[in-house]
């Protein structure tokens, strides 16, 4: 009796929902049925390919026999895909660096933790990560940066790029709002020039032109050059976001600061920027997401980031032809990271409003 | 004289007065310092570059543009041969960029609008699928998507011999997409002219209908009549000249198709990637634009007795477009800039041709300057258009 009642109430709830959301009207019912049919055609075969018939830890030869997904291409090459050419025995170091970075990120998620200590914590953390990657002291064997690759490189290019670009972006935004014509012109020119060209042209510049710009004998490592291009590129976008924040601060705040007799640096540091930067945190996370995705462009100038290491796995004759598996795996890494960040940005936006 | 009367002190942080605390002087000094720094940096870079170029004996200047390019370009909108000079090769590349950007923008707008509307559909399944599409395609780097589609075209699809027929005379294989198109016939020019006449006539009819509505308040069926005019006039001309319709259908000969319209796998993958990626962003813009219009507007329009179609066309869209167009343009610009990733999958766009040029001539500075100039040209024309549009569409308040 009780169970029957439960069943009935369940049906009572689900049926109106179905009618309301899937079958209200002839047109909607047709669309729902067509879509359900399409999903039925796509999802079960995909699941069969990806999970039922798939091979996870087999040899390449075994994969040729099967007709499901060959995830073995990932498991067999996982450490190369993730760490690139970093010396095999030392790969715990980039791993530790990544864990440190993710830990810092997770800790920074909570707004109650935002204070000066966290800021210094980040600086110490980044320094430590660089130390772990590079080595050379404290008994760590040195690893040249041309051996860096894979996911740590991708993360480094994105996060170092973002953090280094932020101060430059703030300066550019202030410059663009300045009343001094020369400074305003430089800022506008820089921002608009950079935003008008694709990142790839800056990366070409970093790989071909930067060496020409430097005096004879002075060379900068390829990764650092690409990192510089990413910083210069990201700064222009940050500048526009920060400018939006500066414009949103009421004029009274500027005037009140002036009437207190604060100097320009004091006014900005104590009154304006704390408010403006708080407003622009959600769009800044958006820029971080773009930067994270855009680092994949370094493939074109032959740096071994995550996308390049997975692509070169596919050029191994044993594992040729499994590009859907490899690309899906890399896509999943990017998707999870970006999705988490964009979700966080949306949540933050709601909290701050 | 008046200048002297003005008080010559300013209240600074320490209450000091003098030249250093004079805002005008300080502003001039800052600008002077900034200018000097930029000039020094510029001089440093230019002199180093000049030294390096001299030492490495690299030619400078744009003289190379006149030399023979001597490389093939996979696909070209205008006739091109390796004997043509570099500037022609670069022009072909620029045209390819324009081609992929134009087709991409049209398809992205259509798909993005469609998905954006689907996202706010009352149908739960439709809105969830649209939402999943938007999330997934936004959060995966465009380059990875391009590699994925390109590998799909090259590795997964069968050879032309076993091509998949996805429609009548539309084949898809690892050599790209081929489809049947009407064979060119000289009388088509007349049909095309008739189309132009039809468009003009429809435009005049709409104006007339509007005036008529202003005078009498009666609404003429402008949409129906103008559609009939636009389709009808070319149709009559086509029938009149004998209704020529010879299709050029793709046929398998040897290892590839002959005839029909062929779209290379590079172009298909690039277009597919760009459209699917950008449409996800456009969909969010369209959704936000429509949701920005308050529900009261719809209710007010309906209470005036407008039909649902009219509500959308006369009340919602003009307001939503004001919100939608500016971010939409910047997405279109992003699509154009992202089309430069063609170089990674071997489609000969401007960047790809320019980088071949750089490799052959060694003149990297000129090559990269050209790349930047071309994209800046696209960006600046777009922003000029945007400013014009914003002025035209801006709310005229009071």
Say which CATH number the domain at A268 has.
1.10.3720.10
Confirm whether B66 is domain-assigned: no
User: Are B268 and B375 members of one domain?
Assistant: yes
Instruction: Tell me, yes or no, whether A322 and A176 share the same domain.
Output: yes
Question: Residue A38: inside a domain, yes or no?
Answer: no
Handedness of CA B336, B105, A331, B156 (dihedral sign): negative
What is the Rg, in whole angstroms, of the alpha carbon atoms belonging to chain B?
29
Distance from CA of A45 to the nearest CA of B (A): 16
Residues of B in contact with A300 (CB under 8 A): 143, 341, 343-344
Instruction: Report yes or no on A11 lying in a domain.
Output: no
Chain A residues in contact with B155 by the CB 8 A cut-off are 321, 323
Does any domain span residue B202? yes
Give φ, ψ of B181 to 5 degrees: -130, 155
Structural domain contains residue A10 = no
Residue of B nearest to A320 (CA): B155
Residue B75 belongs to some domain of the structure: no
Inter-residue contact B134 to B283 (CB < 8 Å)? yes
Cβ distance of B52 and A212 shorter than 8 Å: yes
Residues of B in contact with A317 (CB under 8 A): none
pLDDT for the residue numbered B1: 43
Q: Which of A215, A311, A334 sits opposite B147 (nearest CB)?
A: A311
ipTM score above 0.85? yes
For residue A21, tell me if it sits in a domain.
no
In a domain, A226, yes or no: yes
**Alpha-carbon B35 to chain mean position:** 36
For residue B83, give both structure tokens.
């004997």
> Is residue A159 in a domain?
yes
Same domain? For A183 and A258 the reply is: yes
B185, B179, B160: which is closest to B260 by C-alpha?
A: B179
Q: Note whether residue B16 is domain-resident.
A: yes
Residues A223 and A284 reside in one and the same domain: yes
Q: Do B226 and B270 lie in a common domain?
A: no
Same domain, residue pair A182 and A315: yes
Number of domains into which chain B is organized: 3
Q: Cα(B126)–Cα(A31) distance, rounded to whole angstroms?
A: 8
Residues in chain A with CB shorter than 8 Å from the CB of B380 are 196
Q: Are A173 and A246 in contact (CB under 8 A)?
A: yes
CB-based contact A200 B341, cutoff 8 Å: yes
In a domain? residue B148: no
Residues of A in contact with B151 (CB under 8 A): 314, 323-324, 327
**Chain A interface disruption, residue of B26, B36, B115, B123, most A CBs within 10 A:** B123
Nearest-angstrom CA–CA distance, A217 and B3: 56
Q: Which of B195, B218, B245 is the last residue of a domain?
A: B245
pLDDT, position A279:
85
Does B319 reside within a domain?
A: yes
Q: Alpha helices of chain B — where are they, by DSSP H? A: 2-5, 23-55, 86-119, 124-138, 142-151, 188-216, 222-240, 265-292, 295-303, 308-310, 317-338, 342-345, 350-361, 364-393
Rounded distance between C-alpha atoms, residue A298 and residue A226, angstroms: 7
Co-location of A94 and A163 in the same domain? no
**Residue A343 in tokens:** 């979700």
Angle, to 10 degrees, between the axis of helix A323-352 and the axis of helix A72-83?
60
Q: A177 and A291 share a domain? A: yes
Question: Domain check: are A172 and A138 in the same one?
Answer: no
Question: Given this model, what pLDDT does residue A9 score?
Answer: 74
Phi, psi of B59 (to 5 degrees): -70, 155
For A321, list phi and psi in degrees, rounded to 5: 90, 0
Is residue A52 included in any domain, yes or no? no
Considering the domain architecture, whether residues B122 and B35 belong to the same structural domain is answered as no
Of B14, B33, B55, which marks where a domain is finished?
B55
Q: What is the pLDDT of residue A7?
A: 67
Q: Are strands B256-258 and B251-253 parallel, antiparallel or unpaired?
A: antiparallel
The answer to whether the CB of B20 falls within 8 A of the CB of B26 is: yes
Q: Indicate whether B327 and B227 sit together in one domain.
A: no
Shared domain check, B124 and B204: no
Element (H or E) spanning B58, and its range? Answer: none
Choosing from A144, A171, A195, the residue where a domain stops is: A144
Place of tokens 């909607």: A28
Whether B239 and B124 map to the same domain: the answer is: no
Record: contact B376-A196, CB cut-off 8 A = yes
Tokens of B131: 């939402």
CA B136 to chain centre: 22
Q: What is the pLDDT of residue B105?
A: 92
Tokens of A85: 């050419």
From the list B239, B296, B284, the residue with the least C-alpha distance to B115 is B284
pLDDT of res. A303:
87
Contact B125 A22 (CB under 8 A): yes
Residues A265 and A131 placed together within one structural domain of the fold: no
Q: Which residues of A touch B337 (CB under 8 A)?
A: 197-199
Q: What are phi and psi of A106, to 5 degrees?
A: -65, -40
Q: Is residue B208 part of a domain?
A: yes
Same domain (yes/no): A130, A180: no
Neighbours of A196 (CB within 10 A): 21
* Structural domain harbouring A108: 83-144
Q: For residues B234 and B270, state if they share a domain.
A: no
User: Residue B44 is part of which domain span?
Assistant: 2-55
CB contact at 8 A, B160 and B256: yes
CB B90 within 8 A of CB B353: yes
What is the distance between the alpha carbons of residues B52 and A218, in angstroms, rounded to a whole number?
Answer: 12
Within a domain: A46: no
Same domain, B138 and B269: yes
Q: Do residues A129 and A154 share a domain? A: no
Query: Count of CB contacts below 8 A, A vs B?
Result: 157
Asked if residue B292 belongs to a domain, the reply is yes
Q: Which residues of chain B have pLDDT under 50?
A: 1-15, 398
Same domain assignment for residues B312 and B377: yes
> Are A228 and A324 in the same domain?
yes
| Residues B270 and B325 reside in one and the same domain | yes
A138 and A163 part of one domain: no
> B213 and B113 in one domain?
no
User: Could you tell me if B47 and B350 are in contact, meaning their C-beta atoms sit under 8 angstroms apart?
Assistant: no
* Interchain CB distance below 8 Å, A334 and B140: yes
Distance of CA B162 to CAs B154, B157, B172, B175, Å? Answer: 14, 9, 9, 11
Give the best residue of B144, B288, B378 to mutate against chain A (max A CB count within 10 A): B144
If one counts the domains in chain A, the total is 2
The per-residue b/e assignment along B159-196, b for 16 or more CB within 10 angstroms, e otherwise, is ebeebeeeeebbbbbbbbbbbbeeeeeeeeeebeebbe
Q: What is the 3-state secondary structure (H, E, C) of chain A?
A: CHHHHHHHHHHHHHHHHHHHHCCCCHHHHHHHHHHHHHHHHHHHHHHHHHHHCCECCCCHHHHHHCCCCECHHHHHHHHHHHHCCCCHHHCHHHHHHHHHHHHHHHHHHCHHHCCHHHHHHHHHHHHHHHHHHHCCCCCCCCCCHHHCCHHHHHHHHHHHHHHHHHHHHHHHHHHHCCCCHHHHHHHHHHHHHHHHCCHHHHHHHHHHHHHHHCCCCCCCCHHHHHHHHHHHHHHHHHHHHHHHHHHHCCHHHHHHHHHCCCCHHHHHHHHHHHHHHHHCHHHHHHHHHHHHHHHHHHHHHCCCEHHHHHHHHHCCHHHCCCHHHHHHHHHHHHHHHHHHHHHHHHHHHHHHC
Go through B310-349 and write b for each residue having 16 or more CB atoms within 10 A of its CB, e for each that does not: ebeeebbeebbebbbbebbbbbbbbbbbbbbbbbbbebbb
**What does the pLDDT profile of chain A (353 residues) look like in tens digits?**
566 666 667 777 788 888 777 787 788 888 889 999 999 999 988 888 888 887 788 777 777 777 778 888 888 888 888 888 888 888 888 898 899 888 988 888 877 778 888 888 888 888 888 888 887 777 778 888 778 888 999 998 998 899 899 999 999 999 998 888 889 999 999 999 999 999 999 999 998 888 888 887 777 888 889 999 999 999 999 999 999 899 888 889 989 999 998 888 899 989 888 888 888 888 888 899 999 999 999 998 888 888 889 888 888 888 888 888 899 999 999 999 999 999 988 888 888 76
The CATH number assigned to the domain holding B110 equals 1.10.3720.10
| B71-107 confidence digits (pLDDT tens) | 888 888 888 888 888 888 999 999 999 999 999 999 9
- Find which of A212, A270, A341 to mutate to test the B interface (most B CBs within 10 Å of its CB): A212
Q: What is the pLDDT of residue B284?
A: 93
**To probe the interface with B, which of A29, A198, A297 has the most B CB atoms within 10 Å?**
A198
| Set of chain A residues whose Cβ sits within 8 Å of the Cβ of B148 | 323-324, 327, 331
**Do B110 and B197 share a domain, yes or no?**
no
């Amino acid at each position: 009796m009780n169970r029957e009642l439960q069943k009935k109430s369940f049906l009572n709830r689900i049926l109106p929902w179905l009618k309301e959301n899937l079958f209200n009207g002839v047109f909607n019912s047709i669309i729902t049925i067509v879509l359900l049919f399409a999903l039925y055609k796509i999802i079960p075969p995909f699941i069969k390919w990806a999970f039922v018939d798939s091979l996870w830890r087999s040899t390449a030869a075994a994969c040729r026999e099967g007709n499901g997904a060959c995830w073995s291409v990932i498991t067999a090459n996982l450490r190369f895909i993730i760490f690139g050419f970093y010396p095999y025995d030392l790969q715990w170091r980039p791993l530790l660096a990544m864990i440190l970075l993710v830990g810092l990120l997770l800790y920074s998620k909570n707004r109650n933790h935002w204070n000066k200590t966290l800021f210094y914590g980040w600086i110490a953390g980044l320094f430590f990560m660089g130390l772990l990657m590079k080595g050379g002291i404290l008994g760590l064997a040195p690893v040249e940066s041309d051996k860096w690759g894979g996911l740590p490189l991708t993360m480094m290019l994105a996060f170092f790029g973002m953090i280094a670009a932020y101060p430059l972006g703030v300066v550019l935004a202030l410059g663009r709002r300045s009343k001094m014509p020369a400074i305003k012109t430089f800022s506008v020119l820089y921002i608009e020039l950079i935003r008008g060209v694709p990142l790839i042209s800056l990366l070409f510049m970093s790989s071909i032109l930067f060496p020409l710009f430097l005096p004879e004998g002075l060379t900068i490592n390829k990764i650092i050059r690409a990192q510089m291009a990413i910083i210069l590129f990201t700064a222009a976008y940050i500048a526009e976001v920060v400018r939006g924040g500066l414009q949103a601060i009421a004029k009274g705040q500027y005037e009140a600061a002036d009437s207190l007799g604060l100097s320009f640096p004091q006014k900005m540091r104590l009154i304006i920027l704390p408010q403006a930067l708080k407003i622009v945190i959600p769009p800044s996370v958006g820029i971080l997401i773009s930067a994270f995705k855009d680092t994949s462009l370094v493939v074109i100038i032959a740096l071994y980031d995550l996308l390049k290491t997975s692509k070169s796995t596919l050029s191994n004759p044993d594992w040729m032809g499994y590009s859907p598996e490899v690309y899906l795996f890399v896509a999943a890494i990017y998707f999870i990271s970006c999705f988490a960040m964009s979700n966080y940005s949306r949540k933050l936006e709601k909290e701050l409003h | 004289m008046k200048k002297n009367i003005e008080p010559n002190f300013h209240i600074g942080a320490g209450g000091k007065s003098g030249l250093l605390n004079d805002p005008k002087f300080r502003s001039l000094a800052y600008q002077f310092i900034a200018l000097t720094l930029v000039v020094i940096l510029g001089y440093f870079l230019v002199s180093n570059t000049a030294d390096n170029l001299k030492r490495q004996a690299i030619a400078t200047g744009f003289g190379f543009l006149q030399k023979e390019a001597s490389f093939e370009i996979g696909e070209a909108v205008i006739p091109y041969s390796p004997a043509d000079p570099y500037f022609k090769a670069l022009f072909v590349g620029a045209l390819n960029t324009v081609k992929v950007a134009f087709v991409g923008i049209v398809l992205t707008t259509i798909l993005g609008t469609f998905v954006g509307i689907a996202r706010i559909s009352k149908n739960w399944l439709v809105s969830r699928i649209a939402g999943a599409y938007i999330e997934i395609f936004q959060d995966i780097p465009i380059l990875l998507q391009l590699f994925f589609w390109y590998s799909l075209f090259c590795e997964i699809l069968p050879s032309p011999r076993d091509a998949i027929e996805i429609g009548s005379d539309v084949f898809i294989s690892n050599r790209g997409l081929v489809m049947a198109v009407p064979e060119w016939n000289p009388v088509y020019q007349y049909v095309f002219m008739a189309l132009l006449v039809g468009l003009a006539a429809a435009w005049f009819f709409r104006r007339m209908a509007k005036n008529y509505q202003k005078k009498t308040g009666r609404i003429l069926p402008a949409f129906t009549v103008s559609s009939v005019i636009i389709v009808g006039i070319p149709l009559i001309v086509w029938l009149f000249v004998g209704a020529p319709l010879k299709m050029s259908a793709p046929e398998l000969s040897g290892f590839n198709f002959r005839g029909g319209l062929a779209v290379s796998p590079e172009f298909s993958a690039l277009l597919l990637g760009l459209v699917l990626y950008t449409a996800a962003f456009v969909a969010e813009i369209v959704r936000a634009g429509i949701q920005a219009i308050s529900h009261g507007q719809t209710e007010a329009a309906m209470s005036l007795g407008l039909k649902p179609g009219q509500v959308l066309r006369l009340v919602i869209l003009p307001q939503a477009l004001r919100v939608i167009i500016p971010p939409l343009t910047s997405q279109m610009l992003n699509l154009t800039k992202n089309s430069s990733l063609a170089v990674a999958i071997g489609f000969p766009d401007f960047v790809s041709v320019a980088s071949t040029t750089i490799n052959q001539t060694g003149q990297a500075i000129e090559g990269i300057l050209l790349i930047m100039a071309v994209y800046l040209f696209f960006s600046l024309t777009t922003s000029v258009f945007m400013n014009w549009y914003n002025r035209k569409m801006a709310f005229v308040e009071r």
